[in-house]
Structure 1
Amino acid sequence: MSLSSVLKDLEELTSNAKQTQDDLLDEILRVNANTKYLLPFLHGNPDKELFKKNVPIVTYEDARPYIERVADGEPSDVISGEPITSFFLSSGTTGGKQKIFPVNNKFFEKIVFIDALRTSIISKHINCVEQGKAMSFLNTRPLSTTSSGLLVAPLMTSFIVSSYFKKYWSSTRFTSPDEVILCVDNKQSMYCHLLCGLVRREEVVSLVATFASGVVQAITFLESNWKELCNNIRSGYISEWITDLGCKDSVSIILGGPNPHLADLIEQECSQKSWEGIITRLWPNIKFIQSTLTGQMSQYIPILEFYSNKLPLISPSYSSSETLFGVNVNPLCKPQDVSYTFMPNMSYFEFIPVDEGNNGEIIDLVNVKLGCFYETLVTNGFGLYRYRMGDILQVTGFYNSAPQFRFVRRKNIVLSVHVEATTEEDLFKALKHATLVLESSGLMLMGFTSYSDISTDPGHYVLYWELKAKHCNGIFKLDNEVMVECCCVMEESLNSLYREIRSKDGSIGALEVRVVQQGTFDSLMEYFISKGASTTQYKTPLSVNSPQVLAILEDRVLARFFSDKSSPL
C-alpha cells in the first residue's frame, strides 16, 4: 500500500463515516442474523432497527457462555456466521482475569490496514522514517489451544505467528530478525532485541513497543545488562545463556565478528553517572518513540522524556482484543493531548452517555457531541454484539465526519475503603501532582500500584512506589519530608467525597506510600506472565488485592510514609 493511497482511504472513510457504519452493520447482520445468539432477538431478520430495539447490551460475563461453547467444540454459528479460527487472550491485568475473544482472519486484515494507516500518518509528519529501521520489543508467548483445537493466544502473538506478519511485517523493517520476535523466552528475546539494536544503532529511526511500560522495561534491562552486551559486541560472540537456537544463530550473523570500537562507544555512554538522554546518545539517528501513552500508560511520559531528551512520543492507535478503534492523525501532538479518530470500518460503534441524566439513550458514532463523555459499545461480527467495553471516552473534535476521542479512564472503581469511589482518573490526577514533588527532588516514579487496605481501622489507601534517582545510579536516600509531602499532595488531589470523609468523620485513614526495591515491578510482571499474561500486552494493574501479588510487594518494601494532614483537606 502506497502512502498516498492509504491517506486517501483515511479521507474517504472519515468523510463517509455514517454510510460506512451503516454498510458495516448491514454486512454484520446479514452474515450473523441466524446465529444461535442473535436468532431469538432478530428471528433471522437482518434489520438495523430491529437490532437496536431487541439485541441487549452485554458484558463479558453475558457473552462468555456462548464464546465458551465454540471454544469447547460447538459450531461457530453459535455466535458467528463465519468460521471462528482462533481466540485472542486478554492480558488479565486490567480487569483481574483473562478473557478469550473469538476472531478469524478478517481481524488480521484490519490490523494490517490500521498499521499501514498509522505508518503513513507518521511518515507524512516525519521525514525519512521508511529509510531506517525500528528497534522493536515485540515477542511471543507459548501457544495453547482450546479443547476443540483452536489457537488461543494474545493478539500480538496471534498476529506474529500468522501468515500476515511475514507478508506485511517483514523483519526488514526491524533491527531484530524474526527469530528474536518469535522467541517465547522474555529475557532472551529482550537481550537479543537490545543486542541487535545496538549493533545496528546507526539504522535505528524509531523505538517501538506496544505499551510505554515496555520501553521503560527495556531501558532498565539495558541498565542491568549493558556490560555483558558490550562484551558480546567486543568479542563478536553471543552469551552462552542464550540457548534459543533461532536467536543464537540469527543474532550471531548480525554481530558479524568483533567490534571493539562500537563496544567502547556504548560503554562510554552507559558508564556515565546519569542516564538522562541515553536513548538519543546510543541511537543518534532516532526520530521518535512509538508506543501507547494514554490511560494508565501516561505515568511513563516523564520517564521517557528523561531517557530520550524529549524525543517525540507518538501514541499511534487505540486498540484492544475486542476491536481496533482508530488512529492518532496528529502524531506530533503532546502525548498528554492525544485523541484517536475512530475508523468507521473497524466495528459498528454505539455510545452510552456518561452523565447522571442519561435516560438509556444509545447514540451512533456520528451523533456524539463535542465535549461529552461516553462508554463505547462494540459490535464486531466475530461474536460480540453491543458489547460494553468499559472505557470512558470524551469527544474532543471531528476529523471530517468521524469523531475523535480522548481516553479518560476505565469504568471500574480503582480504590474504596468506605463509601467513597476513587476512579482511575482520580488516581492519576493525584499521582500527577505527587510526581511533581518527586521530580523537584530529583526522583522518578518508575512504577506503582495501589491497594485498599481494610485490615486497618479505619481502612486506608496504600500506594506501592518504585523510585529511582535521576542523576545517579544505585542506592539513594529517601527524604522523609519529601515523601510525606507526596502523601499529603495525593490526598489533597483526590475527589471531594474522599477529602470530606477523611477530614470530618475519620472513616478513612491516612494515605500511605510504601517504597519498594528497584526491580519489584519486573518481579510483578514475571508473576503475571507465569499465570498466562503476555509480555507484549502486559500492563501493571492499577490496584491489587490478590494475596500472592501483595506478598511479592510486601516482601520488597523498603520504607513507609503517611500523610500527616490533621487539618481539613
Structure 2
Amino acid sequence: MDGKNKEALKEIDRLTAKVDEVQENILKEILTQNSATEYLIKYMKGSKNMLEFKQSVPVVTYKAIRPYIQRIANGEDSSLITSHPITEMIMSTGTSEGKPKLMPSIEEDLDRIMFFVSLITPIMNQYVPGVDEGKGMYFYFVKKEISTPCGLPCRTAISRLLKSKHFKRLAQDPSNDNNTSPYQALLCSDISQSMYCQILAGLIYRHQVQRLGAAFASVLLQVISVLERNWVRFCNDIRTGQLDPIITDLECRSCMSTLLSSPDPCLANEIEDICSRVPWKGIFCQLWPRAKFIEAAITGSMAQYIPALEYYSDGKLPLVSNMYTSSECFFGVNLKPLCDPSDVAYTLLPNMGYFEFIPLGENGTMLMNVGEEDEVPNDKLVDLAQVRLGCHYELVVTTFAGLYRHRVGDVLQVIGFHNRAPQFRYICRRDVILSVDDDKTNEEDLQKSINVAKKLLEPYSALLMDYTSYVDATTMLGGLGHYVLYWEIRFHESSKADNQLANIAALDDKVLQECCITVEEELDYTYRICRTHNKSVGPLEIRVVEPGTFEELMDFFINQGASISQYKTPRCIRSEGALKLLNSHVKLSFISPREPK
C-alpha cells in the first residue's frame, strides 16, 4: 500500500478516535460562521453558544426550512440561513416524497465531498489489493439542468460531482484513464444515449474492467435491460468500427469515434457468443471476466435487488456498498466493504457535519415511531458519541450550508464501533408507507415480509424483479381498504417477454395466493388484528405486471423530475399517474385466500 493510502487510513483512525472533540469543533465552527443568519438569530439572538443551540433551535423537517430555501431560490440573500454564498441547489431523488426537495449547497461542500470520496480506494485496497489498477466501469448520469427563479442551478448530487471542477480536472487528466466511460458520455443529459455509450465503452474495454458499479443497485439492472435490447447493435458497432446512427448527440459521437477507431470483429464475436446464450446467469462475469466486485448501494430499499445481482454475477462477485450519503450531506463509509450485504454498516465521519440522533428503541427493537409531523423535544436528542449499541435512532444533521437540526428521515441501528465512532446499519426511511386503520406498515416491515414470500417463487425458477405498493380503499367488497402489491416477476430460463408472460400464466394460482397470505402473516401484530378481529382491513392483493413495467415506471418519474443516477423505486405509490401506468400493465391478480394467523 502506497503512502497516500496509508495517510488516508491514518486520517480515518484520527477522526474516529476523537469523535466528541471533532463534533464539538464542527458545531462551534458552524455557529461561529452562521450566528448572524436570520434563521439562527430567530432562535439564538446572535449567540454562538452550543448549549444555547441545543436548548433553543428546534428539531425540524424539510417543511420548516422550505420557506427559507424558496426565498433564496427567488433571489433573497444566502444570509437567511448561511454566511456562505449558496452556489447551487441539490435536488433529492423526488420518488419517496412525490417531488424533489431542494437542499442548499456551498462551494466548500465539494471539498468535504472530495475528501470523503478519496477515502474509498484506500479502504478497498486493504481487501482487494490493486483495486485502482485496470479500469472501473461505473454508470453515472447527469440530469438536464434547471434553475431557480434567480438563476441558481438545481442539480442532483451526482450531477454536481460530475460537473465540478474537481471531477473535470481528474477526468481530463491523460494519466487518469482508469474509467471506461468517456467524460462527454457522462455529461450527456439524454439518458438513453448516455447509457448506450457507457455500455458500449464498457464492452470495448471488457478485458480491462476490474470494477463494476453505479450509485444504486437498480441502475445495474437497468444496464442489463438495455444490454438485452441492444447487444446486437453493440456488436455491430464494434465489428464495423462505426457508431450506430441512433446516437445523435455530437459530443457522444465524437468521444465514441475515438474508441471505435478501427473495426474489431474478434471482440464483436466474443460478445455475440456470450449474449446469444440463454439464460443470462453470470453474464457480468462472462462479459467482464477480470471483474473483482460490484459496487452500488444495496442497503434499505436497494436490498430488493441483491438476488438479481447475485444471479447475473452467478454469486461470484462480492456486492460492495461503500458509502452512506444523501442530498443533505455525505455521512459515512463502510470499513468492511467485502462483508455480507446483510452485515453492511457505515461509520459516520465526524468532520462531515454535526450529527444528532432521536432515540427510537433499545435492544434491537423499535419501540417508538416518531412521525414526520410529531414535535421532537430538544432534550431528547443524543450526540454521535452518546449513541448506544443495539439502539435505533433517527438521524438529524446540521450543516455549514444552512440546515439546522434537520431530520434526514433515515432510521439507523448501532451495531458496533470503530475506535469511538459508532457503526450504523441502515434500517429504513422513517415514514409509514401503508395504513388503512390502526395498522402502520413501514418500508422495513414490508421489505421483510416480501423477502419471505418471494422465496415461494424459487422452485419455479422465478425471481421477483421489483415491487411497489399502495392502499386501495375503493375496489374491495364492502368498501374495506386493503394493501395492493405490484410485482414484476422474471423467469431465469427465458429472456423474451412473451415467454415470461406465458410462464407467469402457467404458475399455479395457489403459489401467488400463498405469497399473499405469507406477506400478511409476516406483517406486524396490529395489521393481523385489523384483518382478523377488527375486520377493518381487507385481504392483501398481489397484481402481477408485465415485464418492463418498472422500467416504464422509472421513465415516468424521470420525466417528472427524478434522476436515473439516484432513482429508487418508490415502495409506496402516491402519484395518480404512476398508479394509472401500473394498473394498465396488470396481467394477473391474486387475493389472500384466508385470514392471517
Q: TM-score when scaled to structure 1?
A: 0.98
2:490 equivalent to 1:468: yes
Match of 1:257 in 2: 262
- Equivalent position SS for 1:202: coil
Preserved CA contact (<8 Å) 2:98 2:574: no
Q: Deviations over 1:415-442 (max 9, x none)?
A: 1122211111110111110121122321
Matches within 5 A, 1:159-170: 159-168=161-170
Match of 1:413 in 2: 432
Q: Deviations over 1:415-474 (max 9, x none)?
A: 112221111111011111012112232111111110100113211111111111112222
Match of 2:233 in 1: 228
Which residue of 379, 390, 399 corresponds with 1:371? 390
Matches within 5 A, 1:285-304: 285-304=290-309
Q: Deviations over 1:51-105 (max 9, x none)?
A: 1111111110100111111111111111001111111011110122211011112
In the TM superposition, residue 148 of structure 1 has moved relative to its aligned partner by 1.3
* 2-structure distance, mates of 1:402, 1:353: 17
- Equivalent position SS for 2:154: strand
2:438 equivalent to 1:389: no
* 1-structure distance, mates of 2:258, 2:182: 10
Match of 1:343 in 2: 349
In the TM superposition, residue 489 of structure 1 has moved relative to its aligned partner by 1.1
The range that moved more, 280-289 or 541-550, is 541-550
Preserved CA contact (<8 Å) 1:315 1:331: yes
Match of 2:148 in 1: 146
Preserved CA contact (<8 Å) 1:83 1:104: yes
* 2-structure distance, mates of 1:59, 1:36: 18
Match of 1:214 in 2: 219
Match of 2:593 in 1: 564
- Equivalent position SS for 2:488: strand
In the TM superposition, residue 117 of structure 1 has moved relative to its aligned partner by 0.8
The range that moved more, 111-120 or 297-306, is 111-120
Preserved CA contact (<8 Å) 1:378 1:384: yes
**Residue 280 of structure 2 aligns to which amino acid in structure 1?**
W
Match of 2:450 in 1: 431
**Structure 1: tracts of 5 or more residues without a match:** none
2:109 equivalent to 1:107: yes
Q: Deviations over 1:267-287 (max 9, x none)?
A: 111111111000000000000
The range that moved more, 359-368 or 327-336, is 359-368
Match of 1:40 in 2: 42
* 1-structure distance, mates of 2:102, 2:560: 15
Which residue of 324, 328, 338 corresponds with 2:330? 324
* 2-structure distance, mates of 1:35, 1:501: 49
- Equivalent position SS for 1:81: coil
2:580 equivalent to 1:551: yes
In the TM superposition, residue 504 of structure 1 has moved relative to its aligned partner by 2.4
Match of 1:315 in 2: 321
Q: Deviations over 1:339-372 (max 9, x none)?
A: 1000000010011101458985210001100000
Which residue of 205, 211, 235 corresponds with 2:210? 205
2:96 equivalent to 1:94: yes
- Equivalent position SS for 2:312: helix
In the TM superposition, residue 481 of structure 1 has moved relative to its aligned partner by 2.2
Preserved CA contact (<8 Å) 2:391 2:413: yes
Identical aligned pairs, as a percentage? 44
* 1-structure distance, mates of 2:60, 2:429: 17
In the TM superposition, residue 169 of structure 1 has moved relative to its aligned partner by 5.2
In the TM superposition, residue 535 of structure 1 has moved relative to its aligned partner by 1.2
- Equivalent position SS for 2:483: strand
Match of 1:528 in 2: 557
- Equivalent position SS for 2:572: coil
* 2-structure distance, mates of 1:458, 1:120: 55
In the TM superposition, residue 256 of structure 1 has moved relative to its aligned partner by 2.2
* 2-structure distance, mates of 1:445, 1:178: 35
**Residue 394 of structure 2 aligns to which amino acid in structure 1?**
E
Which residue of 513, 517, 528 corresponds with 1:488? 517
Match of 1:275 in 2: 280
Preserved CA contact (<8 Å) 1:196 1:255: no
Preserved CA contact (<8 Å) 1:342 1:402: yes
- Equivalent position SS for 2:86: coil
Preserved CA contact (<8 Å) 1:269 1:282: yes
2:289 equivalent to 1:284: yes
**Residue 556 of structure 2 aligns to which amino acid in structure 1?**
Y
Preserved CA contact (<8 Å) 2:99 2:561: no
Q: Deviations over 1:534-563 (max 9, x none)?
A: 111111111113211111111111111111
Preserved CA contact (<8 Å) 1:112 1:168: no
Q: Deviations over 1:276-311 (max 9, x none)?
A: 000000000000010000000000001000001221
* 2-structure distance, mates of 1:173, 1:61: 42
Match of 1:504 in 2: 533
2:546 equivalent to 1:517: yes
* 2-structure distance, mates of 1:444, 1:169: 38
Match of 1:15 in 2: 17
- Equivalent position SS for 2:417: strand
* 2-structure distance, mates of 1:467, 1:111: 38
2:251 equivalent to 1:246: yes
The range that moved more, 170-179 or 66-75, is 170-179
In the TM superposition, residue 31 of structure 1 has moved relative to its aligned partner by 0.1
- For residues 247 and 384 of structure 1, do their structure 2 counterparts lie closer, same or farther at Cα, with a shift above 3 Å needed? same
- Equivalent position SS for 2:136: strand
In the TM superposition, residue 391 of structure 1 has moved relative to its aligned partner by 0.8
- For residues 335 and 549 of structure 1, do their structure 2 counterparts lie closer, same or farther at Cα, with a shift above 3 Å needed? same
Q: Deviations over 1:117-154 (max 9, x none)?
A: 11211122102211111111111111111111111111
* 1-structure distance, mates of 2:403, 2:181: 36
Which residue of 185, 189, 213 corresponds with 1:184? 189
Which residue of 59, 62, 67 corresponds with 1:60? 62
The range that moved more, 363-372 or 433-442, is 433-442
**Residue 194 of structure 2 aligns to which amino acid in structure 1?**
S
Preserved CA contact (<8 Å) 1:276 1:471: no
The range that moved more, 271-280 or 115-124, is 115-124
In the TM superposition, residue 168 of structure 1 has moved relative to its aligned partner by 4.0
* 2-structure distance, mates of 1:546, 1:116: 39
* 2-structure distance, mates of 1:326, 1:553: 36
RMSD (Å), alpha carbons? 1.4
* 2-structure distance, mates of 1:558, 1:268: 34
* 2-structure distance, mates of 1:304, 1:202: 20
The range that moved more, 165-174 or 360-369, is 165-174
2:419 equivalent to 1:400: yes
- Equivalent position SS for 2:310: helix
Q: Deviations over 1:299-330 (max 9, x none)?
A: 00010000012211000000000011100000
- Equivalent position SS for 2:489: strand
Preserved CA contact (<8 Å) 2:358 2:396: yes
Q: Deviations over 1:465-521 (max 9, x none)?
A: 111111222213221222112112111111111112212232211111111111111
**Residue 334 of structure 1 aligns to which amino acid in structure 2?**
D
